[in-house]
Amino acid sequence: MTYLIGLLSVIFLILAIMIVNKSMALSKGIQGTETDADVPVDGANNLNAIGFIIFLVLGSIGAAWSFFHARPDFLPVAASEHGVKTDSMFWISMGVITFAFFVTNALLFVFPFLYRYKKGNVATFYPVNHKLELIWTVIPAIVMAVLVFTGWRTWRDITSQAPGNAVVIEVTGHQFGWYVRYAGNDDNKLGNNNYKLIDNTNSIGIDFTDEKSFDDFTANEMHIPKGVPVLLKIKAQDVLHSVYLPYQRVKMDAVPGMPTKFWFVPTISTDEMRYKTGNPDFNYKLNCTEICGSGHFGMAITVFVDEPDEYAAWCKQQKPFLTQNPDYLAKVPEKFKTKAQKYIEAPVVETDSTTATETVTAGTASLR
């Protein structure tokens, strides 16, 4: 290690001496102690100029290759109404940025080649050009204003009030998974919840003093209907998470203590996307895109986009949380007991067939 450090020190010292000598030679030319004819110009001058052009050409080819090589891994067409708009806005912005990138970099690399040092060349003193300054200031400002206004309008539409017929789903992030609660089949309204009511069974603290909670049900996967507005009410129990549905272009942070929301209209069902991708095992996923701990990588649940009638049938099959956990009836206020009681299934009385047969036989004999 000591030998390596010593070797590097010698190399850096030699380079430093070379740079100092070069700087001294250039400073003599600037101070006028040498004429233009006396300033030595080595082959590096042309070599550097040509290098600019080579770098420009190879860099442009590499950028184009990178884009087309990665294109098969791009997400397919957006599976939501707003996603089509955001994709369009994204590609328009990328087009403008790419055009500006290639124009400015072409000028940046071509000018050093064209105007490299040559004997007899005299620089033109060009202190100001107001017309040129207006052009390169006003045009980018207008383009930026159009892009910003278009983005603001799209974001305004996305974050507007959800339609009244939207399916309401609550998504709660926790380390490391998602709790999904649906507004029930009877009222399509989510009941209240309270973190103080969380226990081993009631993981999201459903509040049964609110009658709208009686028909709410939970699921380990998410089902949403195609062509119908879906409102996600997003919460977090512990740290910062982020709801991400890549194919639907849905992303919204889940912040502890600050509920957020996102509504969208799915347009491509799971079966249709399986056909489009040629993958019969394809499923949509809801992922977390905010690093939230050691289990972040596995924080995902399966999402099914169903046809409306299939979604309605699936919902009918789900049992309310209160039905699956009748002990929570004790937490319902007396004034709501009658309403809550209808969600409690009557216990099934199992009878012994042998005993029943003997009883019937005995009863028949006594009648005789």
Give me the pLDDT at residue 264, please.
95
Give me the pLDDT at residue 187, please.
84
Give me the pLDDT at residue 358, please.
41
Beta carbons within 10 angstroms of residue 343's beta carbon: 19
Give me the pLDDT at residue 39, please.
56
Give 3's Cβ-side CA count (13 Å radius): 0
Q: How far apart are CA 82 and CA 97, in angstroms?
A: 23
**CB-based contacts of 79, cutoff 8 Å, min separation 6:** 247, 248, 266, 267, 268, 273, 284, 305
Give me the pLDDT at residue 55, please.
93
Give per-residue pLDDT as tens, 23-51. Answer: 776 666 555 555 555 556 667 788 888 99
Burial track 214-240 (b if 16+ CB lie within 10 A, e otherwise): bbbbbeeebbbbbeebbbbbbbbbebe
SS3 303: strand
Give me the pLDDT at residue 322, please.
92
- The top-level CATH class assigned to 167-323 is mainly beta
Give me the pLDDT at residue 357, please.
43
Give me the pLDDT at residue 227, please.
95
Give me the pLDDT at residue 239, please.
94
Give me the pLDDT at residue 282, please.
94
Give me the pLDDT at residue 361, please.
40
**Domain segments of the chain as ranges:** 167-323
Give me the pLDDT at residue 37, please.
53
Q: What is the pTM of this model?
A: 0.75
Residue numbers of the chain with a pLDDT score lower than 50: 348-349, 351, 353-368
Give me the pLDDT at residue 362, please.
39
